[in-house]
Amino acid sequence: MLKIQPVILAGGTGSRLWPLSRELYPKQLLQLTDDTSLLQTTVLRVCALPNVLPPVIVVGENHRFITQTQVEELDVADGYRILLESKGRNTAPAICGAVEYCSSNSDENAVILVLPADHIIQDADAFEAAVAQAVTLSEKGAIVTFGIEPKHPETGYGYIERGEGYAVASFKEKPNLAVAQEYLDSGRYFWNSGMFAFSTEAFLEEMRAHAPEIVDCMAQAVEKGTEDGRFFRFDAEFMAKCPSDSIDYALMEKTQKASVVAADLGWSDIGSWQALWQVLAKDDQGNVCQGDVLLEDTKNCLVRSENMLVAAVGLEDTLIVETADAVLVAPLSRSQEVKKIVTHLKTKKRKEFSYHRTVYRPWGNYTVLEEQDRYQMKRIAVSPGAKLSLQMHHHRYEHWVVVKGTARITNGETVKLLHENESTYIPAGTVHRLENPGVIELELIEVQIGPYLGEDDIVRFEDVYGREEE
């Protein structure tokens, strides 16, 4: 059997899971079912397969450091690579770029296994068996997709009509409820999982036949791309030129080599809060409770608390999600419509669209504790050995108080160590830097004062993480 090269697609935002999912902290990075994120669960799943190579993960530029942090927390994927998209161009360019990269950087003759990072698969043994079956078909030149045995008439998924043997008869768009029921009753349809397996040769041959412009652009994006430690950055110019298309439209609906493997995996793509409620364990009243939740006379609800007590009385079929800066309440059956709220937030340029009060950076994270017109307070956590960029602000003055650990402070021409309960003051216009030279996390409180406190008031002079001036 050929070796398996996992390609994990970790782009997108999962807007239907707002307010937990945000543009800068998307669905695949969330811990929705246990203490590992969906991305981490996917990495663990593929690394447990036999005869497998280190995974290649495709992400957007904004998510590269938190993705790296989450993968390295697992300590199971030595040799993994993260491919960076400067601009999301849908799944066909992402997959094509990953295949071109693997082809150019490995002598292994492997079967490519493409998996979204944000799916739940509850039956690991069935997953391994389905992958083995897909690998066998791929070795014979097939472009294999995984068809999920449908459990109910779902309108949120596309469908695959099975033909003779493993052949695909057709692909169907997301249906209305009546059509979905017809598909279910016929016994001839699968849910389209968005998972694939194929040989590099077969994939590129079919892509050249059906989507040559995508192949040409992504081949150039790889050839002219740049290495950066664990990261490989696709060339931005050729990514921008590449047509944006899904792999279903660009290839799967056109190729004559499409095959489908039936897969009963305990699968869900968690496309809505209702989908999450369906797969999680429930109490005797059908409720899913996460966090500090108190319910009375409440049935078939999903209630999640991130920061404070959430109490509910007399509710049924209701969704409640609380975060530090937002609360969502809706009928559980209308949870798909959360995307409309996200659209409004984006249109109005609300910060709740992009990030939480806790924002992750390559050096650690910060949490906004208080925010007013001319001042704000943050809790800053810096990982051991990490340091912020050498920077300057035009409009704000900063006061730092060390709560835990040791800080090395650059303040103009002065460099000094600060210990617990010590503080410093950074005037506006002063070049400064914060570092953690210790072996434990550095925690400090920052008070910012000034007429403008936006995160874009940063002039970077030096940055070990290769970030451009914001």
Three-class secondary structure of residue 348 per DSSP: coil
Q: Given this structure, which CATH class describes domain 357-462?
A: mainly beta
* pLDDT over 70 percentage in the chain: 99
The two structure tokens encoding residue 164: 């003779």
pLDDT digits (tens, 9 = 90+) for 77-115: 789 999 999 888 899 999 999 999 999 887 778 899 999
Average pLDDT, the chain: 94
299 forms bridges with which residues in the sheet?
316
Closest residue by Cα to residue 437 from 389, 400, 405: 405
CA quadruple 45, 47, 49, 53: dihedral positive or negative?
Answer: positive
Residue ranges, CATH 2.60.120.10, the chain: 357-462
Mean pLDDT of 197-219: 96
Enumerate the β-bridge partners of residue 330: 319
Q: What is the pLDDT of residue 168?
A: 94
Helix (H) or strand (E) holding 440, with range, is none
Contacts of 64 (CB under 8 A, 6+ apart): 82, 84, 231
Q: How far is CA 435 from CA 30, 55, 378, 380, 385, in A?
A: 28, 32, 16, 11, 7
Given a contact cutoff of 8 angstroms between Cβ atoms, the answer to whether 283 and 294 are in contact is no
Say whether pLDDT at 469 is over 60. no
Q: Quote the crossing angle between the two packed helices 212-223 and 200-210, to the nearest 10°.
A: 120
Complete DSSP assignment for 269-326: ---SHHHHHHHS---TTS-EEESSEEEES-BS-EEEESSS-EEEES-BSEEEEE-SS-
What was the pLDDT predicted at 465? 84
- Do residues 217 and 187 lie in contact, with contact meaning Cβ atoms separated by under 8 Å? no
Burial tier of 314 (Cβ tally within 10 Å: 0-12, 13-18, 19+): exposed
Per-residue pLDDT at 50 exceeds 90: yes
Asked if 406 and 419 count as a contact pair (C-beta separation under 8 A), the reply is yes
Q: What is the mean pLDDT of residues 27-39?
A: 93
CA distance 393 to 378: 16
**For residues 258 and 145, is the Cβ–Cβ distance under 8 A?**
yes
pLDDT beyond 90 at 138: yes
| Helices 38-47 & 64-74 angle (0-180, nearest 10) | 50
Fill in the DSSP letter of residue 29.
Answer: G
Kindly report, residue by residue over 246-300, the tens digit of the pLDDT. Answer: 999 999 999 999 999 999 999 998 989 999 999 999 999 999 999 999 999 999 9
Please write the tens of the pLDDT for every residue from 158-173.
999 999 999 999 999 9
- Residue with the larger pLDDT of the pair 15 and 213: 213
Which one-letter amino acid corresponds to residue 120? I
Closest CA to 115 of 134, 136, 87, 89: 134
Taking a C-beta distance cutoff of 8 angstroms, is the pair 130, 3 a contact? no
Position 128 confidence tier, pLDDT thresholds 50, 70, 90 = very high
Q: List every span in the chain annotated with CATH 3.90.550.10.
A: 3-268
The DSSP-derived string for 37-103 is -HHHHHHHHHHTSTTBPPPEEEEEGGGHHHHHHHHHHH---TT-EEEEESS---HHHHHHHHHHHHH
Neighbouring C-alpha atoms within 13 Å toward the C-beta of 139 = 12
Collapsing DSSP states into helix, strand and coil, what is residue 128?
A: helix
Banded model confidence at residue 2, pLDDT cuts 50, 70, 90 = confident
How many residues are there in the chain? 470
Residue 220 makes CB contacts below 8 A (sequence gap 6+) with: 235, 238
Per DSSP, the three-state class of 402 is strand
3-268 carries CATH number 3.90.550.10: yes
Q: Who's near 462: CB < 8 A, 6+ residues apart?
A: 389, 390
Q: Has residue 458 got a pLDDT over 60?
A: yes
Dihedral, CA of residue 450, residue 451, residue 457 and residue 461, to nearest 10: -50
Tens digit of each residue's pLDDT (9 = 90 or more) over 341-400: 999 999 999 999 999 999 999 999 999 999 999 999 999 999 999 999 999 999 999 999
- Tell me whether residue 451 is exposed, middle or buried, using C-beta atoms within 10 angstroms of its C-beta: 0 to 12, 13 to 18, 19 or more: exposed
Q: What angle do CA 161, 162, 166 make, to 5 degrees?
A: 145
Residue 443's pLDDT band (cuts 50, 70, 90): very high
DSSP helix/strand/coil, 331: strand
Q: Which amino acid is at 327?
A: V
pLDDT reading at 14 higher than 80: no
pLDDT band at 468 (very low <50, low <70, confident <90, very high): low
Q: How high is the pLDDT of residue 77? A: 79
Measured from the Cβ of residue 389, the count of other Cβ atoms closer than 10 Å reads 22
Cα–Cα distance, 265 to 285 (Å, whole number) = 26
Query: How, if at all, do strands 442-449 and 288-290 pair?
Result: unpaired
> pLDDT (tens digit, 9 = 90+) per residue, 327-352?
999 999 999 899 999 999 999 999 99
Q: pTM to 2 decimals?
A: 0.89
- 470: confidence class by pLDDT, cuts 50, 70, 90: very low
